[in-house]
Amino acid sequence: MYSYEQEIVERDENTVHMNVGPSHPSMHGTLRIKMEVKGERIVKTEQEIGFLHTGFEKLGEHRSYNQFITLTDRLNYFSPLSNNIGFALACEELLGITVPRRCQVIRTILAEMSRLADHSLCLGAMTMDLGAFSSILWTFVEREKLYDVFEAVTGTRLTTSYTRVGGLAFDLPADFVKRVTAILDSMENTIDNLRKSFYQNRIFLDRVEGIGCISREMAMSYGITGPMGRASGLDYDLRKFRPYLIYNELKFDVPVYKDGDTLSRYKVRIDEMEQSIKLVRQAMKLLEPGPINFQDQKRTLPDKTSTYGDMESLIHHFKLVMPGEDHGIHPPVTDQYSATEAPNGELGWHIVSDGSSNPYRVRIRGCSFINYPILSRLLDGAMLADLVAILGSFNIIAGELDR
């Protein structure tokens, strides 16, 4: 039987054992850290995870490819669309199909919009943890506006499940471009406000400058990607490494900082938001009418209206959706690692297919799971107050961490 007293067996005279989390406001969900502190100095830490373990990988082996998309919503629940798009792209790479142009443009726009939503919440929450309350209200307002658009596009705010293998669930609403343009303008204003309030702010800078430094070598050894890696000088971005969707047609920069401290991680996210706004603006100009689904009804779900309207589509829908030996999508018998640049880094999918309608194995390389372990190393010898600053800049999402 679990007992907290049993964990503290060897107690050093001069140190105090402290427990933070799993339900602590600054622990972002369900993280737990056991610490040994000497005064305000942290001597030793141990991270404990697994409180939100849901068994997505085991469940995935018993779900069809399209059913698994609903589970991907629950991974990084700050940016569910990124996960939907990543998994759909991984399946399409396995099947060897390329989605139509309009679908690629829509996916690019939505991936960048979810990056904006994810980063804005991370920036707001991080500064709130450090005592600045107004900024989370500013960023939350922006995120709400984005979520309103996600709701208009996908029908839900959080559990979007918008993509399908080989396309999308449905097309964009009519006023999409107008609504998004209005949001981007106010978003730019908010980014400007964030810069003005924090870049010269002594109270903020004292808490983050030179705190929690990750070197480029450390980042490579731990496999840290995304904004955290780029804050440490690791210039690795999958949108540039091997451009997917329409990223090779768009002009954007990838911000890279050298210091690797908490402030750099904050700055990288702000700069990335600016680039995402640029990307969405460019991609919206490329929106042209056209089909949104790959035209092969043996592998892609037919349009909902034609499923209800004509016999052939209904048969194909039935064959793809209903359980059965020869039903569903049948990828070749092989395995494949594919990855996309999610807001937190490289979101990888190692899919092993046995030729049946369910994946044989889905490995989710969650960015949070790979980015999180370095925390204990950064906390060795740090001050207790640094914990919230460093952890806030990591943007650890428990859904993706524990899977």
Partner 1 sequence: MITYNPENHLKVIAQVEARMGERLLGREEKSHYHQFKVKGQDAKDLIRFLREEPSLAFAMFIDLTAVDYLRYPIAQPERFAVVYTLLSPELGVKAQVKAFVPDGDPRLPSITDLFAGANWTEREVWDLYGIEFMGHPDLKRILMPDDYEGHPLRKDYPLKGRGERGNFPVYHASTQRPKGEG
Q: Does 62 bind partner 1 (CB under 8 A)?
A: yes
Please name the residue ranges forming H helices in 223-372. Answer: 226-231, 238-241, 262-285, 304-309, 311-321, 367-371
Write out the binding residues for partner 1, residues 77-116 only, by CB under 8 A: 93
Q: What is the rounded (10 degree) CA torsion for 198, 199, 205, 210?
A: 130
Non-local (6+) Cβ contacts of 129 within 8 A are 26, 388, 389, 391, 392
Q: Does 363 bind partner 1 (CB under 8 A)?
A: yes
Question: Please, what is the minimum distance in Å from the beta carbon of residue 44 to partner 1?
Answer: 13
Closest by CA to 46, choosing from 376, 392, 401, is 376
Instruction: Count Cβ atoms below 10 Å from residue 224 Cβ, excluding itself.
Output: 28
Contact pattern for partner 1 over residues 199 through 228, marking x by CB under 8 A = ------------------xx-xxxxx----
Q: Does 402 bind partner 1 (CB under 8 A)?
A: yes
Q: Could you give the angle at the alpha carbon of 213 between the alpha carbons of 207 and 216, nearest 5°?
A: 150
DSSP string across 275-291: HHHHHHHHHHHT-----
Write out the binding residues for partner 1, residues 130-149 only, by CB under 8 A: none
Among 17, 20, 22, 57, binds partner 1 (CB under 8 A): 57
Q: Does 271 bind partner 1 (CB under 8 A)?
A: no
Closest by CA to 374, choosing from 188, 170, 191, 228, is 228
Length of the chain, in residues: 403
Q: Does 337 bind partner 1 (CB under 8 A)?
A: yes
Q: Does 281 bind partner 1 (CB under 8 A)?
A: no
Q: Does 309 bind partner 1 (CB under 8 A)?
A: no
Q: Does 328 bind partner 1 (CB under 8 A)?
A: no
Q: Does 59 bind partner 1 (CB under 8 A)?
A: yes
Q: Of the listed pieces 47-55, 107-115, 178-186, 289-297, which binds partner 1 according to CB under 8 A?
A: 47-55
Instruction: Count Cβ atoms below 10 Å from residue 288 Cβ, excluding itself.
Output: 8
Among 348, 359, 392, 399, binds partner 1 (CB under 8 A): 348
Q: Does 34 bind partner 1 (CB under 8 A)?
A: no
DSSP string across 31-83: -EEEEEEETTEEEEEEEE--TT---HHHHHTTS-HHHHHHHHTTTSTTSHHHH
Q: Does 241 bind partner 1 (CB under 8 A)?
A: yes
> In this structure, which amino acid lies at residue 55?
G
Q: Does 254 bind partner 1 (CB under 8 A)?
A: yes
Instruction: Count Cβ atoms below 10 Å from residue 189 Cβ, excluding itself.
Output: 12
Among 95, 132, 250, 370, binds partner 1 (CB under 8 A): 370
Number of residues that bind partner 1 (CB under 8 A): 53
- Note the residues at the interface with partner 1 (CB under 8 A): 1-5, 49-50, 53, 55, 57-59, 61-62, 93, 217-218, 220-224, 234-237, 240-242, 254, 333, 335-338, 346, 348, 350, 352, 354-355, 360-361, 363, 365, 369-370, 372-374, 377, 402-403
